[in-house]
Chain A
């Protein structure tokens, strides 16, 4: 295999004239983390509401929540990204559309919303499974004590459900980090995009991708271990959580 390795490339100045290539990869990492964390907040909030509605007694609300999950799970993330970025500004009233198009950092906001709402469907699915895995007697015990249904969710069902789904939530969080790479298609300079641009300017393909890969692995290890600590701190005697992180991505 004839390839001219040059690991020193990381310390050479990148085309922006100020930072090294290593620096530009680090900027990419920061964008990746900022995008993933912001989207995760949306995913947790929206996903929790949708997940709870799916187990609620009102059939219309449950149907709405099911529809949400089906809609966001059955369209590829990349297509959703295009819908938010290219299509939405065209189909809303033109004043709003223009505002959307002129928004600074539009690709960042688009990605945060798109990834957040996309991942919310998956969080909702996990949360529903977590709630349904609790014995129905737990709900009854909460109600029998005089707690209202929302209170029963707040104090009895959700604290246990979240603990139970912590491992699958961990893999969803890892997914949101990985999925943020899709945003390079709409011009977000996240980690994969930074590696791609380093490759284009320096022609050192494999150094660039190796750098990005190592950063992803390190992030992965940190998140997994962090969640393991959290899991231990939240563990409840006599209960184990639902298996290891799930397969899908």
Chain B
């Protein structure tokens, strides 16, 4: 039971856990969120386009990503990226790709599908009159979207986007399946090496819990403020 807990193992491995593990986790979360929002917004514009091929392609992509488990997508990309690299660079055999790139590609294209749905809802929540007003003063499609619709949609959706980022933060733990040293990966490696599964997994749970809960409390506060301003 708890009496033979080795709390010291946590203390000893703190630098490794945070400087190697957590740094990777946070970097992946931040970059994938940024990439996911950009691609997701473009996908949303395609989905809402009146040009049928655009909306069909974007819709198909989103539905494909949303029917697959993230773990399976991670495997797909893990094996696919070397071949794509080979194809792009014209190398004679599949090229080696670093863990960060693999994870980044995976999470960006996977989360883009979810960010797309959020941005689509955001764009649709802006009254039609806004588009008409922008067009009426002679703005082009990109001006209308870039200067009028998207800034409003983005602002309205900030709390939802942040909540999705917290989900993404938790999801990054799944890179465990390709043995990447993110925070959980680091904890797991120490756990296996020292035979201290109980301590390390409990500690990992506590850290994830504190970070996620803290972030979601801040999002809720922000939401209240945004709600009052509007």
Contacts and interface: CB of A to CB of B under 8 A. Distances in A.
A79 B75 contact: no
A20 B176 CA distance: 29
A74 B208 CA distance: 7
Contacts of B160: 247
B201 interface: yes
B7 interface: no
A80 B160 CA distance: 24
B64 to A, nearest CB: 7
Chief secondary structure at chain B's binding surface: helix
Interface in A180-226: 180-182, 184-185, 192, 195-196, 199, 205-206, 209, 212-213, 216-217, 219-221
Give the bracket for the number of chain B residues in contact with chain A. 35 or more
Interface string B196-230: 01100110110011001100100000000000000
Interface in B92-131: 93, 114, 117-118, 121
A90 interface: yes
Interface stretch (A10-18, A81-89, A139-147, A151-159): A81-89
A192 B66 contact: no
Interface in A78-108: 78-80, 82-83, 86-87, 90-91, 93
Interface residues of A, number: 45
A221 B66 CA distance: 11
Contact of A74 (B84, B93, B184, B216): B216
Given A2-B86, A87-B197, A178-B70, A247 B164 contact: yes
B64 A86 contact: no
Contact of B79 (A75, A174, A192, A209): A209
B141 interface: no
B209 A75 contact: yes
Interface stretch (B16-24, B142-150, B167-175): B167-175
B205 A79 contact: yes
Nearest to B174: A78
B56 interface: no
B205 A220 contact: no
A1 to B, nearest CB: 5
Interface string A57-83: 000000000000011011111111011
Contacts of A233: none
B152 interface: no
B54 interface: no
A1 B87 contact: yes
Contacts of A184: 71, 177
A110 B228 CA distance: 44
A135 interface: no
B83 A249 contact: no
Interface string B57-70: 00000011011111
B80 interface: yes
B136 interface: no
A114 to B, nearest CB: 12
Nearest to B173: A76
A182 B174 contact: yes
Contacts of B67: 174, 178, 216-217, 219-221
Interface string B165-190: 00100110110110000001000100
Given A206-B80, A247-B118, A247-B160, A1 B86 contact: yes
19 contacts: A2-B86, A3-B83, A70-B213, A73-B212, A73-B216, A74-B212, A75-B208, A79-B173, A82-B201, A83-B201, A93-B1, A178-B69, A181-B72, A184-B71, A185-B177, A199-B79, A216-B68, A220-B63, A248-B167
Interface of A: 1-3, 70-71, 73-80, 82-83, 86-87, 90-91, 93, 174, 178-182, 184-185, 192, 195-196, 199, 205-206, 209, 212-213, 216-217, 219-221, 247-249
Given A78-B173, A90-B198, 20 more contacts: A2-B93, A74-B209, A75-B209, A76-B174, A79-B208, A80-B205, A82-B204, A83-B201, A83-B205, A86-B198, A91-B1, A178-B68, A178-B70, A180-B69, A181-B69, A181-B71, A182-B69, A192-B72, A216-B68, A248-B164
